[in-house]
Amino acid sequence: MSTTLIKGGRVVSATAEVTADVLVDGERVLALLGPGSGLAENADRVIDASGTYVIPGGVDAHTHMEMPFGGTYASDTFETGTAAAAWGGTTTIIDFAIQSVGKSLREGLDAWHAKAEGQCAVDYGFHMILADVNDQSLKEMDMLVGEGVTSFKMFMAYPGVFYSDDGKILRAMQQAAGNGALAMMHAENGIAIDQLVAQALASGRTDPVEHGLTRPPELEGEATSRAITLAKVANCPVYIVHLSARHALEAVAQARDTGQNVFAETCPQYLWLSIDDLARPDFEGAKFVASPPLRPKDHQDSLWKGLRTNDLSVVSTDHCPFCFKGQKEMGRGDFSKIPNGMPGVENRMDLLHQAVVDGHISRRRWVELAATAPARMFGLHPRKGTIAPGSDADIVIYDPAAEQVISAQTHHMAVDYSAYEGKRITGKVRTVLSRGEVVVDGGEYFGRPGRGSYLTRSTCDYL
Ligand SMILES: [Zn+2]
């Protein structure tokens, strides 16, 4: 085992900032030492981190590598997507394994293990998408919790594909209440949305912006309230994924005020982009089609407030990239055929640092939202999400003064556009360690597929 000393950086955690040396032994953090303690002068390797932030590697709790959607696949594989994650300072992803209707959870999970095994550059875990709630799949939930898959996502949207009705959601939540799992909800009223989509197409409204107009924020608010009510009846904790609208946030905040175990995440696209991007001319809006859709700009202030008050506790990407050429273009002339999803796994840590620079959140809150809270939420803490003795040495050395411009020309995601093309960011990842090994340093990549390992997760740390 070799030792590494990360020397003289500003170690930022969710709760404190201290100038310290971080001593890494093999794959783990051994100790935080006072500056110049001399105890570690025999380290095999010394990394000078003066002038930088030393933070826990990012945990992106919501990605969809090579996910099938509408006859195509998300363009990042586990190999390319996890390499891009590493480039952007994210050292753990939690992806979604999918149960197909008529198949078991086991088959779905095995298929995702087969896709990811030997491919990932950083560590990874799985949530399970429950698409077919029945006696058998309910029993299988218990088994999966025992295997470290401790969160199950259901959809109130996409009738005929992933959709579960309220009865099925209630039954799965009751099962989760018994086995300690966290229920995750895609909360949009898909039954009503499908009517609005059909009406738009029938009247010749086919442009990408219609994707947003046919999924109004009220229908996210309604579904969020309904999910929270079902969770209350089932006495089950619930986590609302990719919350985008003020209406939904109000429902979450209200439930949290009563003490109910309701949690929510939002995503960078809802904080920085808006329906104006979806309305870009010449079909360019298709680049911004994701569900829930980008909202009018005035929702952003509410989301920032939610991040400060902790009604939103996590920022994940919902990374689900489709190339503009050949994939997004499938929806020319019919917005409902545009594959839903946007790239972002590489940009999250930088965008959230920009939020620190812009005064939206504190540095510690940046670390908490991007690493510590998702690790705790999904049973990975203290192994992930913190720099503490015994934790995995997933460490990012971040230069807060570097300037960069986000662009598809320079990103590492396997997708032909950036949703943030041309955006200036203050701050940049300098060095990334994944379990003690340097995988990115000074603009060079040293990672490799198969270095990342599968993470067996414990249950939610906030209950
Ligand atoms: Zn998603």
DSSP-assigned letter for residue 241: -
Q: Is the pLDDT of residue 38 over 80?
A: no
What is the whole-number distance in angstroms between the Cα of residue 52 and the centre of ligand 1?
33
pLDDT of 413-431, one tens digit each? Answer: 999 999 999 999 999 999 9
What is the whole-number distance in angstroms between the Cα of residue 190 and the centre of ligand 1?
15
Strands (E), 17-57: 17-25, 28-33, 45-48, 53-56
Q: Is the pLDDT of residue 375 over 90?
A: yes
What is the whole-number distance in angstroms between the Cα of residue 336 and the centre of ligand 1?
17
pLDDT of 270-302, one tens digit each? Answer: 999 999 999 999 999 999 999 999 999 999 999
Q: Is the pLDDT of residue 402 over 90?
A: yes
What is the whole-number distance in angstroms between the Cα of residue 308 and the centre of ligand 1?
23
What is the whole-number distance in angstroms between the Cα of residue 243 and the centre of ligand 1?
11
Confidence (pLDDT) at 444: 98
Q: Is the pLDDT of residue 42 over 90?
A: no
Pairing of strands 424-434, 395-405: antiparallel
What is the whole-number distance in angstroms between the Cα of residue 43 and the centre of ligand 1?
42
What pTM did the predictor assign? 0.98
Confidence (pLDDT) at 36: 72
Q: Which helix (H) or strand (E) holds 193?
A: helix 190-202
Confidence (pLDDT) at 434: 98
pLDDT of 192-211, one tens digit each? Answer: 999 999 999 999 999 999 99
What is the whole-number distance in angstroms between the Cα of residue 457 and the centre of ligand 1?
19
Helical residues (DSSP H) of 35-104, grouped into ranges: 78-87
List, edge to edge, every strand of the sheet that includes 262-266.
Answer: 58-63, 90-98, 123-129, 151-155, 182-186, 238-240, 262-266, 314-315
What is the whole-number distance in angstroms between the Cα of residue 88 and the centre of ligand 1?
19
Rounded CA separation 95/250 (Å): 27
What is the whole-number distance in angstroms between the Cα of residue 11 and the centre of ligand 1?
32
What is the whole-number distance in angstroms between the Cα of residue 204 and the centre of ligand 1?
29
What is the whole-number distance in angstroms between the Cα of residue 31 and the centre of ligand 1?
37
How far lies 151's CA from each of 51, 145, 183, 321, 379, in Å? Answer: 39, 8, 6, 23, 10
**CB 314 within 8 Å of CB 374:** yes
What is the whole-number distance in angstroms between the Cα of residue 318 and the centre of ligand 1?
5
What is the whole-number distance in angstroms between the Cα of residue 96 and the centre of ligand 1?
8
Confidence (pLDDT) at 168: 98
Average pLDDT of span 370-383? 98
What is the whole-number distance in angstroms between the Cα of residue 36 and the centre of ligand 1?
45
The DSSP string of 243-284 is ---HHHHHHHHHHHHTT--EEEEE-HHHHH--HHHHT-TTTG
Rounded CA separation 76/121 (Å): 13
Rounded CA separation 117/221 (Å): 38
**CB 174 within 8 Å of CB 301:** no
What is the whole-number distance in angstroms between the Cα of residue 155 and the centre of ligand 1?
10
**CB 281 within 8 Å of CB 343:** no
What is the whole-number distance in angstroms between the Cα of residue 186 and the centre of ligand 1?
8
What is the whole-number distance in angstroms between the Cα of residue 268 and the centre of ligand 1?
13
The DSSP string of 119-169 is T-SSEEEEEEE--S-SHHHHHHHHHHHHTT--EEEEESSSTTTTB--HHHH
What is the whole-number distance in angstroms between the Cα of residue 174 and the centre of ligand 1?
23
Average pLDDT of span 302-316? 98
What is the whole-number distance in angstroms between the Cα of residue 199 and the centre of ligand 1?
26
What is the whole-number distance in angstroms between the Cα of residue 60 and the centre of ligand 1?
12
What is the whole-number distance in angstroms between the Cα of residue 63 and the centre of ligand 1?
6
What is the whole-number distance in angstroms between the Cα of residue 247 and the centre of ligand 1?
20
Confidence (pLDDT) at 294: 98
What is the whole-number distance in angstroms between the Cα of residue 106 and the centre of ligand 1?
20
What is the whole-number distance in angstroms between the Cα of residue 365 and the centre of ligand 1?
23
What is the whole-number distance in angstroms between the Cα of residue 17 and the centre of ligand 1?
33
pLDDT of 124-169, one tens digit each? Answer: 999 999 999 999 999 999 999 999 999 999 999 999 999 999 999 9
